[in-house]
């Protein structure tokens, strides 16, 4: 769909590249969500994350989220980028960018996109700790 740009990459994600996909002459608002890898979770030290995905299905689902956001929130453009493979501390794991005529739609669409991505897109996260690792969602 026009206005939707999605990417899954094992390379560093570029904030500028995502921004360029959503900037539009009719839009006065652009919202960016950038998810980075933190060094602590549940009281444990995190060393890095590994993301695995079934890419054809994940890209299809990410596109669907973008299409839904365009219709639901009256936005102009949306880009959803996610990493795969090894992602180190402070590295970017996900970027969502949205543009619209006014800011309120941007914020709502951006939150909708990240929340829905985490619920529906087949991307699995393995968290590596100093004392082992586990697949997120498989441990209480």
Q: Provide the whole-model pTM.
A: 0.94
Local confidence pLDDT in tens for the 140 residues of the chain: 789 999 999 999 999 999 999 999 999 999 999 999 999 998 999 999 999 999 999 999 999 999 999 999 999 999 999 999 999 999 999 999 999 999 999 999 999 999 999 999 999 999 999 999 989 875 44
- 92: alpha, beta or left? (left if phi > 0; alpha if psi -120 to 50): beta
Q: Which helix (H) or strand (E) holds 36?
A: strand 29-36
Q: What pLDDT is attached to residue 136?
A: 87
Which residue ranges form the domains of the chain, and what is each CATH number? 4-135 (3.90.1170.40)
Do the beta carbons of residue 81 and residue 41 sit within 8 Å?
no
CA separation for the pair 100, 77 (Å, rounded):
7
Q: How many other C-beta atoms can be found within 10 angstroms of the C-beta atom of residue 127?
A: 19
Q: What pLDDT is attached to residue 138?
A: 57
Q: How many other C-beta atoms can be found within 10 angstroms of the C-beta atom of residue 134?
A: 13
């Amino acid at each position: 769909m026009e206005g939707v740009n999605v990417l899954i990459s094992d390379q560093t994600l570029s904030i500028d590249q995502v921004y360029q996909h959503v900037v539009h002459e009719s839009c006065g608002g652009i919202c960016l969500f950038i998810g980075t890898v933190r060094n602590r979770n549940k009281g444990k030290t995190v060393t890095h994350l590994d993301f695995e995905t079934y890419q054809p299905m994940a890209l299809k689902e990410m596109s669907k989220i973008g299409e839904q956001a365009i219709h639901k929130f009256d936005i102009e453009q949306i880009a959803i980028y996610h990493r795969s493979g090894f992602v180190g501390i402070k590295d970017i794991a996900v970027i969502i960018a949205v543009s619209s005529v006014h800011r309120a739609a941007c914020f709502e669409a951006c939150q909708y996109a990240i929340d829905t991505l985490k619920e529906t897109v087949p991307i699995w996260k393995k968290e590596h700790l100093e004392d082992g690792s586990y697949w997120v969602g498989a441990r209480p």
